[in-house]
Amino acid sequence: MDIGFSVIYNGIKDAISLTKDANSLPVLRERMALVQDQLRVAEKKYSELEAENSDLLRENRILRKEKIELEDRLNKLDASPLFVDIGPCFIKKEKSGRILDGFYCPKCRTILEFDTFWTGEHSEGRYYCRCGFSHPYDVIMKAMKNCTTENFS
């Protein structure tokens, strides 16, 4: 129910002018009852709005906190390095262009380990992954060199 502020205002105004005439007491009583009703409506509405406002302020605080957390996560996502395919494997590159140390498996994207293996005739340096991927050191170094001169210069 809307608050009849004009009823309250006019009721008080009429009451003031009705006090001049003693015969208008019943009318004055009627107007004051009307003003009283409207003040009750106003009081109820004020309580409802106060509760609603309190809920909205609480919700707003939560949303502001979530917004800050999401902005923070978004900034971290932008800063996280991306995988770049260099042929035999992946490398990680930051948005700034800086290439991070290490080579990554093209199958499972785990960082590759390095070791020297005996082929039966000579020893060979190889990058390998636990998933079974393996590539010679020379091939990966060549791909890395081509990649940095072609794409990152």
Taking the least distance from each CB to Zn ion, the nearer of 28 and 86 is 86
How far is Cα 135 from Cα 91, in angstroms, rounded to an integer? 14
Binding site for Zn ion (CB under 5 A): 105, 107-108, 110, 129, 131, 133
Taking the least distance from each CB to Zn ion, the nearer of 8 and 105 is 105
Report whether 64 contacts 53 (CB < 8 A).
Answer: no
> Could you tell me which residues are beta bridge partners of residue 125?
116
Distances (CA, A) of 109 to 52, 64, 82, 83: 51, 36, 11, 8
- Smallest gap, in angstroms, from Cβ of residue 151 to Zn ion? 23
- Smallest gap, in angstroms, from Cβ of residue 111 to Zn ion? 9
- Smallest gap, in angstroms, from Cβ of residue 108 to Zn ion? 3
Taking the least distance from each CB to Zn ion, the nearer of 133 and 137 is 133
